[in-house]
Amino acid sequence: MPLLRSVSALLFLALVSAILTGCSELREKPSFPTKEREAYYNSKRQEYANVLQVGITRGKVEDYFRSKGIKYRQMCCIDEKDAYADLVVIGKEKPPWYCSQYNVYVAFQFAVTEPRPKQPLVLAADSDVLTRITVYYWPENCL
């Protein structure tokens, strides 16, 4: 019986310790970019903005990416609700404890120029027009 009590006490202490550690992680904030990293991210955005002018089509933007071997992904609804944005990763920040990644992208946002079929839902067309190029922070793979 004394052995059972000491094992139970150890398990209880381990549980309390785990809870307290978890609570301190809850208070931990994700990292925010330093001024140097933020300046770097803005310089990368400007490099793209110098080549890809607002007003060109998605087709031309994506042709540029392919010609330079630049990997990109599409994501719905940064500011425009009707057209996907194209995202190019330019950095990584420390994620909050509940996410496994916190990526930094240059986001190429587009406006729709022609009607879309409702079925199947199409959110990216070569004719979409580039409206904004921004730095976009996106925590990913979160609980």
Rounded-to-integer distance, Cα 138 and Cα 89, Å:
10
Q: How big is the CA angle at 87 (ends 85 and 88), to the nearest 5 degrees?
A: 155
Phi, psi for residue 105 in degrees, rounded to 5: -125, 155
pLDDT at 25: 44
**139 or 18: which carries more pLDDT confidence?**
139
**Structure-block tokens of residue 64:** 């540029």
What's the pLDDT score for residue 119? Answer: 63
Which three-class secondary structure string do you get for 89-122? EEEECCCCCCEEEEEEEEEEEEECCCCCCCCCCC
Query: Has residue 117 got a pLDDT over 80?
Result: no
Portion of the chain with pLDDT greater than 70, in percent: 75
Comparing CA positions, the residue from 133, 33, 45, 48 lying closest to residue 92 is: 33
- Tell whether omega for the bond before 96 is within 30 degrees of 0, i.e. cis: no
d(CA 143, CA 140): 9
User: How confident is the model at residue 80, as a pLDDT?
Assistant: 73
74-98: average pLDDT: 90
What is the rounded distance in angstroms from the CA atom of residue 8 to the CA atom of residue 61? 63
